[in-house]
Amino acid sequence: MVHALREARRVLVPRGILIDLRPININAPLEIVTPTSCFPAGMVDMGFNIADDIAADNAFQDTLRAGSLTEIQADYFDFAYYWNTVVEMKADMDDRWKDDAVISDSVLHQAHLLFDQYRDQGRVRLRIRKKLIKYEKH
């Protein structure tokens, strides 16, 4: 991240904008949702890249202290991923998120129980907290 940030500052024109958009490595709620309700199954552990997150935050803080960038806007929001079944969600996470998320057996079991109750109209949702910070180059 430090090298990428250095290169981004180098190529930005004065008053150019740099966007930092990434997930926040905290636990995320896994839910079974229907058109009218939301049923929590538990939390998914998303904290496995916390060291990378801290390093990126430190790199941005160093850049701000050096005065080459100014933070002009910060927003935090939930980004939702949806799957049609718990099995589909688990397969997708095992394939693409195996190093980023861990679903405990108890949360997976609860998700299956809830999904079985609302199978006709239910979907699986994982809400991940993200941050979007906008910086301007001096």
Cα of 28 vs its chain's centroid, Å = 8
Distance in angstroms (rounded) separating the CA atoms of residues 68 and 16: 11
Distance in angstroms (rounded) separating the CA atoms of residues 122 and 86: 10
Q: Cβ(53)–Cβ(26) under 8 Å?
A: no
Residues whose CB falls within 8 Å of the CB of residue 61, separated by 6 or more in sequence, listed in order: none
Q: Cβ(18)–Cβ(132) under 8 Å?
A: no
Distance in angstroms (rounded) separating the CA atoms of residues 18 and 56: 14
Q: Give pTM, 2 decimals.
A: 0.84
pLDDT of 19: 94
Tens place of pLDDT per residue across the chain (138 aa): 667 787 887 899 999 999 999 998 889 999 999 999 999 999 999 987 788 888 888 989 988 898 889 999 999 999 999 999 999 999 999 999 888 899 999 999 999 999 999 989 999 999 999 999 999 998
> What type of residue sits at position 85?
T
